[in-house]
Chains A and B, each alone.
Chain A
Amino acid sequence: MAEISEAPDSDSSKLLGSDSKAPQRPDSEPEFDPKLMRKTKPGLKRLFLTFSVLFSFLLGFPFLWKSVEIYRSPLPFREIDSLSTQLRSDTLLFPLHFHALFVGFDSDPDRLRWSILSEITKLTSQNPKCSDNYTLSVTVDLGSRCLRGPTSSPHSSSYQCGSVTGDDFVQNDDVVVDERLASVFGGKNNEYSMAVVKGVSERAVVGKYRHAWMVVGDGSDVEMAVVKVAEVLIKVFINGGREEGLIRNEFMPVGADGKIVLSFNLLNADPHDWVYDWDFEKIDDTLLTPMIEALGPVANISVESQVLYHTPKASFSYWNQKLESYVFSTKDLPFFVNSNEWHLDTSIAAGGRSKILQFAVYVPSAKECPLLLQLPNGEISKTNGFISPMWGGVIVWNPQGCLKDSEFKPSAKNIIPIQDLENMFEVFIGQFRQLFGFKSLNVYTGASGDWNLLPSERGFTEWELDVLSRQHTCFNLHSCATTLGSLSRLVQSLPRMIIKDEIGKQVKLSLEAAKLALSNASSGVYEFSAASSSQARSLAEDAFFHPSIMSVSYYSFEHCFAVYSPFFLPVSMHVVLAALRELRRYKQEKAKYLAWKAKANTAT
Chain B
Amino acid sequence: METFINPKSLFHLLLLPCLLLYSSIAYNSSPVEAAMHTNNWAVLVCTSRFWFNYRHMANTLSLYRTVKRLGIPDERIILMLADDMACNTRNKYPAQVFNNENHRLNLYGDNVEVDYRGYEVTVENFLRVLTGRHETAVPRSKRLLSDEGSHILLYMTGHGGDEFLKFQDSEELQSHDLADAVKQMKEKHRFKELLIMVDTCQAATLFNQLQSPGVLAIGSSMKGENSYSHHLDSDVGVSVVDRFTYYTLAFFERLNIYDNASLSSLFSSYNPSLLMSTAYYRKDLYKRRLEEVPVTNFFGSVMETIHTDAAYKALSRRNSGRFEDEMSLDQSVHHIKRRMLIKVNDGDEIHDINPELLQGEEGASKCPWSTFRNKFQKAENVDSLLNYGLVAMIPLLVISTWLVQ
Contact = CB atoms under 8 A, between A and B. Distances in A.
A426 B312 contact: yes
Given A429-B312, A486-B187, A340 B111 contact: yes
Interface string B315-342: 1111010110000010011011000000
B136 A352 contact: yes
A104 B239 CA distance: 90
B305 A345 contact: no
Interface stretch (A192-200, A211-219, A541-549, A556-564): A541-549
A311 to B, nearest CB: 13
A383 B310 contact: yes
A440 B396 contact: no
A395 B311 CA distance: 11
A440 B39 contact: no
Given A339-B71, A550-B133, A55 B396 contact: yes
Nearest to B72: A339
Nearest to B36: A250
Contacts of A64: 389
A483 B188 contact: yes
A373 B307 CA distance: 10
Interface residues of B, number: 79
Interface in B69-83: 71-76
Interface stretch (A10-18, A134-142, A328-336, A512-520): A328-336
Among B396, B397, B399, max chain A CB count under 10 A is at: B396
A56 B307 contact: no
Nearest to B302: A334
A202 interface: no
Interface stretch (A94-102, A363-371, A455-463, A465-473): A455-463
A426 B73 contact: no
Given A285-B336, A547-B134, A389 B385 contact: no
A390 B38 contact: yes
B304 A388 contact: yes
**Majority SS at the chain B contact face:** helix
Given A302-B343, A381-B307, A386-B307, A63 B388 contact: yes
B320 A419 contact: yes
B311 A552 contact: no
A118 interface: no
Contacts of B111: 340
B39 A390 contact: yes
A123 B35 CA distance: 25
Interface in B122-136: 123-124, 127-128, 131-136
11 contacts: A56-B397, A249-B149, A250-B36, A287-B315, A333-B305, A335-B302, A339-B75, A373-B307, A440-B312, A502-B358, A550-B128
Interface of A: 45, 48-49, 52-53, 55-56, 59-60, 63-64, 66-67, 128, 175, 248-250, 281-282, 284-287, 302, 314, 330, 333-337, 339-340, 342, 344-345, 347, 350-352, 373, 375, 381-383, 385-391, 393, 395, 418-419, 422-423, 425-427, 429-431, 433-434, 439-442, 455-457, 459, 483, 486, 490, 502, 505, 544-547, 549-553
Interface of B: 30, 33, 35-36, 38-39, 68, 71-76, 111, 123-124, 127-128, 131-136, 138, 140-141, 143, 147-149, 177, 180, 184, 187-188, 257-258, 301-318, 320, 322-323, 329, 332-333, 335-336, 343, 358, 382, 385-386, 388-389, 392-393, 396-397, 399-400, 403-404
